[in-house]
Amino acid sequence: MQNKPIGVFDSGVGGLTCVKELRKLLPNEDIIYFGDTGRVPYGNRSNQTINKYARQDADFLISKNVKAIIAACGTVSSVATSLGDSLNVFYTGVLKPTAKAAVKATKNGKIAVIGTTATIKSGSYEREIMSIHPEINIITQDCPLFVPLVENGFVDNNNQITRLTVEHYLKNIKLSGADTLILGCTHYPIIKHIIRDYMGDNVTLIDSGSATAEYCAGYLSDNNMLNNKESAGTAEFYVSDTTEGFSMLAGLFLNEKVSNNVYHIDIGALAAKK
């Protein structure tokens, strides 16, 4: 069990923010990543479709004999809440680790949450935060254009389209006085620099991918599940659409060339065979 890989899945490239942090925290661990790039984004799908996709994604990682699964996707974590109940390996979404980090960070008791439309409509972050600290004041905003902007590479700090979109979505949050902002989708940290420029240095940004990686690392350590090999861990990447676009973006986010380790799979066909 110790030397099996960690599985991570997301609707696209956003979950790489979690992978990057995992590789910092656990350099000896092998990681298998699945990005459902052929069906991104999940955030505007029905709950039934999101649950179906999440199950298929998790089943693929199970077929790779992983010891743990991270749903590095705010939408899946918020909507497919029972996914982990039927898995025989450690499972976590981003919801609980991120909410805990935000409650710990806030000083004025005002926390803002941004996410996909499905995440915000679910009310999942409000429920999780309130279960930890009922006195917290919570402001939410869905940002449906952020994922396609990231997936299409509109991530440069000077990109005026992305900067204007950030201002459009976050104007009311900035006016609210919240001192903590949850980036409730793992795509969002990729444009964190633009969000920070707009919100200012007095607002703490909570990166859901980073918080979840720390949570998973702690669990594996506490349960004697860390890989005991001395060599550096490996990473394999699987996608449901073309490998070329993913390889380019992944290389930028991870600061290394990944094209030799990126493979295409037909997730729908694999699910049909099950």
In terms of domains, do 125 and 258 share one?
no
pLDDT score at 113: 98
Last residue of a domain, one of 174, 208, 242: 208
User: What is the count of structural domains for the chain?
Assistant: 2
Q: Please say if the pLDDT value at position 257 is more than 90.
A: no
247 in the same domain as 170: no
Amino acid occupying residue 178: A
Q: Which domain holds residue 188?
A: 95-208
| Closest alpha carbon to 93 in 111, 105, 81 | 81
Could you say which of 160, 186, 208 is where a domain stops? 208
Q: Which of 157, 176, 208 is the last residue of a domain?
A: 208
pLDDT grade for 229, boundaries at 50, 70 and 90: confident
> How far apart, in whole angstroms, are the C-alpha atoms of residue 7 and residue 215?
14
On whether residue 25 sits in a domain, the answer given is: yes
- Nearest alpha-carbon partner for 15 in 30, 37, 33: 33
At 225 the pLDDT is 96
| Pair (102, 177) in one structural domain | yes
Higher pLDDT pick, 245 / 197: 197
Asked whether residue 256 carries a pLDDT value surpassing 90, the answer given is no
Verify that 89 and 223 share a domain, yes or no: yes
Whether residue 105 is found in the same domain as residue 203: yes
The answer to the question of residue 85 being in a domain is yes
Question: Does 189 have pLDDT greater than 80?
Answer: yes
User: Is residue 88 in a domain?
Assistant: yes
Q: Domain check: are 110 and 240 in the same one?
A: no
Could you read off the pLDDT of 86-99 as tens digits, one per residue?
899 999 999 999 99
* pLDDT, position 269: 86
Averaged pLDDT, 53-66:
97
Q: What is the pLDDT of residues 157-185, one digit of tens each?
A: 999 999 999 999 999 999 999 999 999 99
Q: Quick one: 149 and 198 in the same domain?
A: yes
CATH number for the domain including 143?
3.40.50.1860
Structure tokens at 97: 């680790």
Domain assignment present for 203 = yes
pLDDT band at residue 249 under the 50/70/90 scheme? confident
Tokens 């979505």 found at: 169
Residue 99 and residue 204 in one domain: yes
Do 233 and 247 belong together in one domain?
Answer: yes
Mean pLDDT of 231-253: 91
Instruction: For residues 216 and 89, state if they share a domain.
Output: yes
The reply to whether 88 and 127 lie within a common domain is no
Q: Which two tokens stand for residue 34?
A: 């699945």
Overall average pLDDT of the 190-216 stretch? 96
Are 19 and 253 within 8 A, CB to CB?
no
- Average pLDDT across the chain, whole number: 94
pLDDT-based confidence at 1, cuts 50/70/90? confident
- Kindly report the pTM of this predicted structure: 0.91
Asked whether residue 110 falls in the same domain as residue 195, the answer is yes
Q: What percent of the chain has pLDDT over 90?
A: 86
Catalytic positions are 73, 185
Whether 1 is in a domain gets the answer no
